[in-house]
Structure 1
Amino acid sequence: MIEVRKLTKRYGPKVAVDDLTFEVKPGRVTGFLGPNGAGKSTTMRMVLELDRPDAGEVLLDGKRYRDLRHPLRKVGSLLEAKAVHGGRSAYHHLLWLAQTNGIGKRRVREVIEEVGLDSVAGKHAGGFSLGMSQRLGIAAALLGDPEILLFDEPVNGLDPEGIRWIRTLMQDLAAEGRTVFVSSHLMSEMALTAAHLIVIGRGRLLADTAVAGFIERNSRSYMRIRTPDPDRLREVLGAAGIQVDQGPGGTLEAVGAELGSIGHLAALNGLRIDELSPQSASLEEAFMQLTAGSVEYRAEEGKR
C-alpha cells in the first residue's frame, strides 16, 4: 500500500503539491488523474524520493523508500521511458539494475521476454523508439517482482496491441494482490483499466473514489427521447414530476426517470416514441466537469 500523508512541495512561490493525503490500496488498479500542472509527476517523484517534500511523507507498506534495503524488490516504477544509458544494450541496462538489487540474471531474461524485447535485447537502448523504450522501462519496473508498481503515462508510444498488453498486465498485477498506481491523460484508457481514481487539481485532492461513482457524481445522466409530438410528451412527463429538458435535434432529455416509467406514461396517453435510450457521461466528461476550475494551462477556443 502507498500512504501519502499531508504531502507539500513548493518551487519558489509556486505550490506544486498542497497538503495532499490519500492511500493507494493493493488488489486494484488506481488511476491518478489531473490536468497538466496538477502535480501528478511531482507526487510520483516524491513517492520514490527523487524529490524531497517540504512537508509530509510517503510510506510504502509502512516504510519510507530510503529505508528499503532492496528497493526494486518492493517498488517498481516507470516515470521516464528515455531515462536509460543510450550506449548500453537493453540486456545490460537491466542487468546493471538487477546487480544493484541482488537480482539474478535469469530474472533479467524473464522480464525481457515478458515485455516482448527478446529480439532486440542486444541492441543499444539509445536507438529504441518511444514504444520500445516504454517496454524496456516496464521491464525494469517488473525486474524485482515488486509488490508496488508506479507507472507514469505507460501507454505513450505504444501501438494498439501494446496498449492492450499493458492494460491487461496492470490488471493482472493488481489481481495478484499488488498495489498498482498509474497516471495517464488518456481518459478512455483509464476507464478501461482502473477500478479506483485519485484526482488532483493544482496540487490538491479533488476526488478519491471508484470509477463508477466518480462518473455518477460528476456528470449528468438522462433518457434521450425522440417522438413526433415532443410538446405533448413533455407536458405528460412534467405532470408526473419528471424533469424534461430540450435536447439537440428536437430530442427530449428526461432526468431522473426510468425507461419503463416513461414508456408506460407514453402508452397511457397514446404517444408514439421512436427512441428511448439511457445516456451517461464518459469518464472524460466527468473529469472535465470536476477539474474545470483547476486547469492551469487552457487554450482559447477559436484562436489560431
Structure 2
Amino acid sequence: MICIACEKEHEKLAKSHVISNLFRKRMTGFLDQNGSRRFEFKCVGRKDLPKQNLPKQDLPKPNLMCTECDRNLGSLVERYVSNLIMPQDIEDWEQWKKLPIKPTPLDGVFDTTLWVGTYDYPEKNKAILDRFALSTAWRALHDMQKEGHILSTNFLNSERGKKVNKLAKDYIFEGVKIGELRDASLYFLGPKSAKIISGQETEMPFAWTELGKDNEFLGVGVILGYWIILWPLFEFSPDYFDKLKQLEKLCFINWVVKVRSDLDPNCLAAYK
C-alpha cells in the first residue's frame, strides 16, 4: 500500500482522519443548560460509516498515510490548530469574540454579498492555519481518488496534478511554499451554520467533494462543522478570478444546498 505523503510502499497504512480529530474532541463536549445535549456528526455521502452511539462517534478514517507520516502531520500542523480556530469553551460566544475573526465579503456568489469570517492572525499563526486548511483539502482530494471520483483521479494522474501534489506536500510537511500552489481558504460561518446546514442545532455536518463544471476540475470543498475549506486547483490565467467566483458559487450555492438537502430534505426550500 502506498502512502500519499512519503509515497513509499507499506504493508499497512494508518487510518488517517481527513478532517482532524480535534473537531470531534472539542465539539462533542457541548452540552445545553440541562446538561443533556451533545453534538452528533453527520458525515455526508459516507453511508458506509456505521451509526455510532454518542460519545463514541468518530470521523472518517481512510487508509491514506503510513503511521510515521500520519504522526508527523499531527505534530507539525494539527497540534497547534485547535486554540487558534476555536475557544476552549465553545458554548461561550464571548470567548469566540476574542478570536481575531473578521467579517469578509464574498461578492458574486449570491445577489447580495455573502459575509464569512476569516482569521486575521500574524504571519506565523496564519501559516499554521494555511497549512492545516491545505492538509485537510489535500487528504480529501486523495480520499476521493481512492473512492474512484473521476475529477480527482484524473487530476492526480495528470502532470499538473502531480506537480501540485508535490508542492502541497512540501508546504504541509516542510513549511516550504513555492510556485503555483494556491492557498486553501478557511471560512468561518458562525455558530448558527450547523443548524442551517443540517436542520438540527446539535448535528455537525462534515463532508468533502470535488467541484467542477463541464469536466473541468475547479477545486476541493470541505465542510467541517462551522467552517468551510475551499482549495482552488485550476491554473492561473486571465480568467482566474472568473473561475474563482465560479468555484465559490459551486461551493456555497450548489454543494452546500445539496448537503443540506441530503441531511434534511424538508428544510431545503427554507434555505433557498
TM-score by length of structure 1 reads 0.24
User: RCO higher in 1 or 2 (8 Å CA, sep ≥ 6)?
Assistant: 1
TM-score by length of structure 2 reads 0.26
